[in-house]
Structure 1
Amino acid sequence: MVDCFCRFIGIFKFIYDYVFWSYVFDKIQKELIDELHEVTETLRWLSLGPTRLAIKHDVFISNGCRFKTKARDDVRVTQTSGVSIVAQTLQVSSARDKNPIYGEMKFYGVIQEIWELDYHEFRMPMFKCDWVDNKNGVEKEKLGFIKVYLNKIGHKKDSFIMASQAKQVFYVEDPTSSRWSIVLASQPRDKVHDDDQQHDFDELQTSEKECCLMPYHFLRHWMLVIIDPDDHTCYYLDPLRKSPPNDLKNLMNNVSSHIKRKTGRNEKNYKWKIVNCPRQTSSVECGFYIIRMMKDYCLNETPMRWLPSNCGGRNIYTLGEINETRNEWAAKLLERMSHS
């Protein structure tokens, strides 16, 4: 009987959605006939529906958070595919419940796909998610934290949400039961204003590309590798402007092999690009040059453009800049030692 009731709800929802959007389209078209209509451009384009072609992404930035698909997370160290949403939903206690009510309910899921629908004049980013079944897959512990069973998938007919609705969460394995995961909330790092939501995604992705900075010490000399895992590229910065040592290349090849064994993916070896970074003027400044280059990279608004431009075209660092770096390093070291 419960199965019949669920089927009835599904059929009712399909008919409601079809009738509702047909009504919206007809209503707006009639309103547009009046020259004094109050229909906004956004509502007009929404009523016409999106084009048949949608852009798919692996990464998208919304509400100050970087979201990725589950497939992308599986080959990365960080986890950014967890989402939650608070939605109004029809709640029934059982198939015999004759007084269902609408109320707020929180849902937890994992992003499987990221779509960007094209409404001609604007784009609407959407997340397609696997949602945990709230009935059998979500528990609230006595201490107040939420646990989810990520393999209990429900709400399969409501898998899409707008990117602007998503709140980022992390899932940590419950130490008492590996089947369950504890939900942790995420704090946005950089708030993205509403006006910025229409920015071209490629430009946003370029400026927000997630890379790994790896200082490397070899034969009493410091060098820097900036690893772009998306493009399988290693940017090599050496204050002496020498070629990357074979030991370093072998290290990165071993990383690729490890990822391939772990994920089963055809992980290719990294490409190397040598950056003509600022050249050190003596034989004892390499460490401070590396610290300074890391600082310049992190503070640059478009770091992935800063690298191909050979660090902004800088040939050397001045003695004042190196002394400033020394003082900053010494101050941080003393601060850490005072707290240890």
Structure 2
Amino acid sequence: MPRLYDSRKRILVTGGAGFIGSHLIDRLLGQGHEVLCADNLFTGTRRNIDHLHAEPRFEFMRHDVTFPLYVEVDEIYNLACPASPVHYQHDPVQTTKTSVHGAINVLGLAKRLKAKVLQASTSEVYGDPAIHPQVESYWGNVNPIGPRSCYDEGKRCAETLFFDYHRQHGLEIKVMRIFNTYGPRMHPADGRVVSNFIVQALRGEDITIYGDGSQTRSFCFVDDLVEGMLRLMATGPDVTGPVNIGNPGEFTMLELAEHVIRLTGSASKIVHRPLPQDDPRQRQPDVSLAKSLLDWEPTINLESGLKRTINYFRDIVTV
């Protein structure tokens, strides 16, 4: 059996102080690796990684990926980019730069180091999909000039760069398309539907649904997502992706709101607001490829995941 230091890697996680990144780092440290977390703290928070600062195998570097990184690592997970409409529309030019310049800088580093690199892409590359559920071979239905384009097209361009570096330079890449993910450490003001509903319910405020509430999403608990990410990174060089990682269970916004009200015991009322421009009407992953390539499928259902997420928000939300 190999000794620990024979299999220990030094791993860079960009965006590591974010919601998903911090959970990924916990898992990597639990596997015995050294982890370098790079984050400019635009949407990530120190609170997500405060529990790690006494860990000798953890290092934090405040850094913006739109600038090159000069570090020595064995593997790279590129998670750096605002992922909620509230944050990525705040500075859309910077959002595009983060996806595109960030990908260039991370890929350049990986090329120099001959390191395996994983791109955290998104289901938003499918836009407002014309096929349902979404499979990896679908090219998408994206508005290139709308208010969400900075994120959607930025991530699509990042995927292009990853595959061009793979074809042109022989770089070992992994591209993972993340569907709606939720869980502890979500930012309470990130504008995502799960955190919005929970915070509003805990405060006894009206729960805001955009449109008539019939639009659907599929919600994946963060632990399941991280497991899929680790399994994809562990595959051989012949597996590049893209691979959908998400929970295929589909719920309307109205159903989600009713679940949250029931689980929080809130007296909140549901109110409706106009649907934002280019908001997808439906979103559901086909995870057949993840099942066949990674032997992965989600194990945590919405009720269980919501309970754990609500407990987290009870501790941080002021009523």
> Could you say which TM-score interval applies, normalised by the shorter chain?
under 0.3
From the two aligned structures, give the one with the greater helix fraction. Answer: 2
Give the alignment's TM-score, normalised by structure 2. 0.26
From the two aligned structures, give the one with the greater strand fraction. Answer: 1
Give the alignment's TM-score, normalised by structure 1. 0.25
- The structure showing larger relative contact order (alpha-carbon pairs under 8 Å, at least 6 residues apart) is 2
